[in-house]
Amino acid sequence: MLAVLIAPVAIQGAVMLVDELVFHRRRGLPRWERIGHPLDTLTVAACLAWLIAAPPSREALTVYVGLAVFSTLFITKDEAVHARLCSAGEHWLHAVLFALHPIVLGALGLLWWTGHSTVVAVQLAAVLAVGLYQVVYWNVGAARRSAARAPGTVDNALYGTLGEAWYDADDSPIALLRAEARHRNPWVAETLATSLTEPHPAVLDLGCGAGYLTNFLAERGHRVTGIDTSAEALAVAHRHDATASVEYLVGDACALPFPDGRFDAVCAMDLIEHVAEPERLVAESARVLRPGGLFFFHTFNRTWQAHLIVIKGVEWFVRNTPRDMHVIDLFRSPEEVATWCRRARLEPLCLMGSRPRFGWPLWRMLATGRVGDDFRFRFTRSTRLGYTGYARKTREGRDP
């Protein structure tokens, strides 16, 4: 009997451990959850403290049932936040926890009623330890970790100093950006051709740099606008515009100087990880898109693999790579980008990972620090490093 009553408590503990170590650590917790989770724990502690303080009786049981019902309802309060931030897997795990919560409180009540107060006391100590962890790690510790990371800001000034190196350097990480453009540009053009009815759509390229994508699309007859914060990079882009048709503007991708619904497609390739307010960038992109328009993006995932390969690997093996060209704290998970898209009325339709192709060009780069024009990337199913995708602006509902 004792084992049967303890089993749901153990299962709940295991599920909570997965929720914390997998989902919470992956996405981080906003302020409301950092406050709300210790409050959830406090309601459980109140239930168990009552059992320890009160000897078994009908009156004490009535009070306990009231506390247990309140706790069972109270823990659902964060679902409005979870609806915006959580993946399907985390939602499922929460459903399991919601189902287990009254079962666990019922089991602990039976243990108390049958004289196993010591087990209840041990569980109360465990609950208080969890609450202390939530306060220290997610509140006190989070503030200290944030302060420690503050100096790590990405160096965007680099892109205004490259000049013609944008197009001819092989001893610089910009050569990797050229290789990525060779990989993605045909896919963007093909998606535009197959997903839009307009034969020559109006395309806005955010953070266009020296025009890798803008000039490519212009040569295929598209009406293209490029915007970037670097006038120097735009001058290079203009010189390499064979069509002389691209409109290049100096501007902020998070505060676009265009009216609502101006473009058929907006591209943010290798840009999300360079801005401090990526959600605002996505919202601005959605604003200037017409209903049915496409939002293209490419960025890097916030994983240890991306930190090792995309940041440290490039610093170690590619010549002339500056510090803080990329910063891991500005990398974003696919779930975060998908959440921002949906908030902006952009429905994600495609997501693919990408990585370098294995072969001689890669090994040569590792040995010499130079990136040749034969260096290639490929799409993959894994999004642990970088990922590319697009979303469509919904035709229903109000625009953001």
Predicted confidence (pLDDT) per residue in 9-67, tens digit: 999 999 999 999 888 876 677 767 888 899 999 999 999 999 999 999 999 999 999 99
Using CA atoms, how far residue 243 sits from 49, 290, 383, 392, in Å, is 76, 25, 35, 28
Adjacent-strand bridge partners of 378 = 355
Q: In Å, how far from its chain's centre is CA 114?
A: 48
For the stretch 226-249, pLDDT in tens is 999 999 999 999 999 999 999 999
Using the predicted structure, report yes or no on whether residue 184 has a pLDDT greater than 80: yes
For the stretch 148-177, pLDDT in tens is 444 456 778 888 889 999 999 999 999 999
pLDDT at 26: 67
What is the pTM (predicted TM-score) of this model?
0.63
Residue range(s) of every CATH 3.40.50.150 domain in the chain: 156-393
Q: Quote the strand ranges of 229-369, DSSP E.
A: 247-250, 263-269, 289-300, 346-356
Using the predicted structure, report yes or no on whether residue 181 has a pLDDT greater than 90: yes
Do the beta carbons of residue 330 and residue 270 sit within 8 Å? no
Fold category of 156-393 in CATH:
Rossmann fold (3.40.50)
DSSP reduced 3-state for 9: helix
- Cα 184 from Cα 73, distance rounded (Å): 49
Could you tell me the strand order of the sheet in which 289-300 lies? 247-250, 223-228, 202-206, 263-269, 289-300, 386-393, 346-356, 377-380
Lowest mean pLDDT among 71-80, 187-196, 206-215, 228-237: 71-80
Question: Across residues 181-210, what is the average pLDDT?
Answer: 95
Adjacent-strand bridge partners of 228 = 250
Do the beta carbons of residue 129 and residue 41 sit within 8 Å? no
pLDDT at 170: 93
Question: Across residues 353-358, what is the average pLDDT?
Answer: 94
Most confident among 15-29, 313-327, 357-371, 386-400 (mean pLDDT): 357-371
